[in-house]
Amino acid sequence: MSPLPQILRDQLAASPAGRLPFAQVMELALYHPEHGYYGAGPRRIGRKGDFFTSVSVGPLFGKLLAMRALQEWQAQAEPEDFTIIEQGAHDGQLAEDVLSALGGKSLRYLIVEPNPKYREVQTKRLGDRVQWAENLAALQTGPAHGFFLCNELPDAFPVHLVRWNGERWEELFVEADSCAAFRFVAGEFSCAELAEEAKHLPQDLEPGHTLEINLTMLAWIRELAHAAFRGAIFIADYGLDAEEFFTDSRAEGTIRRYRQHHMDGNVLEDLGECDLTTHINFTRLTAEAERLSLTKGEYDLQGRVLGRLAMPWLKSLEGQRLDAATMRQFQSLTHPAFMGRSFRCLLVKKQPHDDCRA
Ligand SMILES: C[S@@+](CC[C@H](N)C(=O)[O-])C[C@H]1O[C@@H](n2cnc3c(N)ncnc32)[C@H](O)[C@@H]1O
């Protein structure tokens, strides 16, 4: 059994009010360096793991992203320092798929990876074909041209939870009950930034409506905006537009846990042994990006974005049939019943950081 629940109980006992913001609990559950679901090292993703991603479907996703990166490289007049930058690279599978699909074009590839255990696994797989940066701050000095990509990254960032009580928005904290089980309790906002975000939420929802606020995602896009590169940022993830979070069918929020392909809302149970994840708010992400002078480009369902990207390649096959494995991957990535509708892709264009607002 994971020691994380006891670690959390100790932290709750040591905290002044005996409770912690959910974001801190999610951070602990996912990123505790020894016992966190992700912190402990890259877990298996795919059939034998807890969930599938577009990467685990097969190499086609990487092939299509390689095509998109090449388009960007050509659009920028093929600069020598052009670098594909990936964050959330996990075990390096997507990097390997993209590099293999570049068709002899030796573009640089850089992984932003803070966790040394992940870096070790990525190094074993990719050797000297890639470079690493520990965090986004390292990108402030270069490269000057790039294509940033991530798949299912901001959905794994710790979020705060807020709930409408019929009169005002409150934050949900975690506390331990008399049997040492964890439960939610509502209270005043734990930080000014959260209170500011909540000011922009609707006030006509049913009491009890719960939402996630992903402050880490906002800080992340701010850091990305300050990176030196000119180019594009490609974000693939499951997420919604702001209004879609406010429907009655989403009154319990989108925070979920995944374990062995089973998904439920018992997010305070089996801490450290399950993935915790939320849908990202693409409207809020785009608004923050635009405030920073990034420019919104393509935003659409993954099925449509990848379908459009694949079109020239499919046409170039001139009637030859795709092999069965590639066909299956294409269907999984693009069919609305699989990943084509629940996932979306957002592309934002980026000027060098000097042109970007603080
Ligand atoms: C849902 S998994 C997706 C993995 C992979 N991109 C894929 O699509 O198969 C989320 C990944 O993001 C990583 N991650 C979370 N925060 C990160 C950060 N600040 N920098 C780099 N990776 C991060 C986690 O360690 C985990 O590997």
Question: What digits encode the pLDDT tens for the residues 212-222?
Answer: 999 999 999 99
**Residue type (1 letter), 222:** R
Per-residue pLDDT of 95-111, as tens digits, reads 999 999 998 888 999 99
Tokens of 58: 């097969």
HSE, side-chain direction, 13 A CA sphere, residue 207: 4
Residue 45 CA: which ligand 1 atom is closest?
A: 9
- Whole-angstrom distance, CA of residue 63 vs CA of residue 330: 11
282-291 and 215-225 helices, crossing angle to 10°: 40
Average pLDDT of the segment spanning 236-243: 97
Domain boundaries, the chain: 60-158+213-244+259-355
Average pLDDT of the segment spanning 183-192: 98
DSSP string, 134-160: SSGGGGGG--SEEEEEEES-GGGS--E
- Whole-angstrom distance, CA of residue 121 vs CA of residue 97: 16
Residue 135 CA: which ligand 1 atom is closest?
A: 20
Minimum mean pLDDT among 39-43, 103-107, 160-164, 300-304: which range? 103-107
Tokens of 26: 């999610």
Which residues fall within 8 angstroms of residue 108, CB to CB, at 6 or more apart?
81, 82, 83, 84, 131, 143
- Whole-angstrom distance, CA of residue 146 vs CA of residue 231: 5
- Whole-angstrom distance, CA of residue 62 vs CA of residue 40: 26
Minimum mean pLDDT among 51-65, 168-182, 342-356: which range? 342-356
Question: Would the pTM of this model clear 0.95, i.e. be above it?
Answer: yes
Answer whether 99's CB lies under 8 Å from 245's CB.
no
Radius of gyration of the chain (CA): 21
Residue 192 banded pLDDT, cuts 50, 70, 90 = very high
Point out which residues pair with 296 in neighbouring strands. 348
The confidence score (pLDDT) of residue 358 equals 54
Residue 180 banded pLDDT, cuts 50, 70, 90 = confident
**Residue type (1 letter), 72:** E
Residue 354 banded pLDDT, cuts 50, 70, 90 = low
In this structure, the residues whose C-beta lies within 6 A of any atom of ligand 1 are: 38, 42, 45, 53, 55-56, 87-88, 90, 94, 112-114, 151-153, 156
Residue 90 CA: which ligand 1 atom is closest?
A: 27
Positive or negative torsion for Cα 239, 245, 247, 249: positive
Answer whether 156's CB lies under 8 Å from 235's CB.
no
The whole-chain average pLDDT of the chain stands at 96
CATH topology for 60-158+213-244+259-355 is: Rossmann fold (3.40.50)
Q: What are phi and psi of 127, to 5 degrees?
A: 55, -135
